[in-house]
Amino acid sequence: ILAYADNNERTLAMKLIRGGTDKECAKEVAREMVGLGYIDEQRQLNRLILTEANGKLYGRNKIVPKLMAKGYSSSDINSVLAELIESGEVDFKKNARLLVEEKLGSDAELEEKKKLLYKYGYRV
């Protein structure tokens, strides 16, 4: 399971349970894999956030719930996101401009821009 794809602690435990492992045993194994460094959620979050923000041009309001649904904690997501913003690797203002230019062009109406930005997870 670990070799096939990146799994966070929660996802690994769920896969083990679906495979027939006792619930408590699965949770303990997943915790142990994190402790041993086989699961590095910070690295995973870094990669996922960069893909969502800079690749798909999603805003914070779309990224955080999406990653929480995958089993990452909101505090971990927000921590990694803050680091990426501080380092300049993620710039939501720049990404919002790129999104509008890419999807609507430079002569789009203000209301169209607001709808698009809201849909992609930006506060308008």
Write out the two tokens for 23: 């619930």
Distance, in Å, from the CA atom of 63 to the CA atom of 59, rounded to the nearest integer, reads 6
Q: Which residues contact 93 (CB under 8 A, 6 or more apart)?
A: none
**pLDDT for residue 100 is more than 90:** yes
Report, as an integer, the average pLDDT of 57-69.
97
Q: Could you report the per-residue pLDDT of 33-62, keeping only the tens digit for each? A: 999 999 999 999 999 999 999 999 999 999
Instruction: Report how far apart, in Å, the C-alpha atoms of 17 and of each of 6, 22, 23, 29, 38 are.
Output: 17, 6, 6, 11, 19
For residue 6, what pLDDT band results from cuts at 50, 70 and 90? confident
**pLDDT for residue 31 is more than 90:** yes
What pLDDT is recorded for position 81?
Answer: 97
Instruction: Report how far apart, in Å, the C-alpha atoms of 67 and of each of 24, 34, 76, 82 are.
Output: 24, 18, 10, 15
What pLDDT is recorded for position 123?
Answer: 93
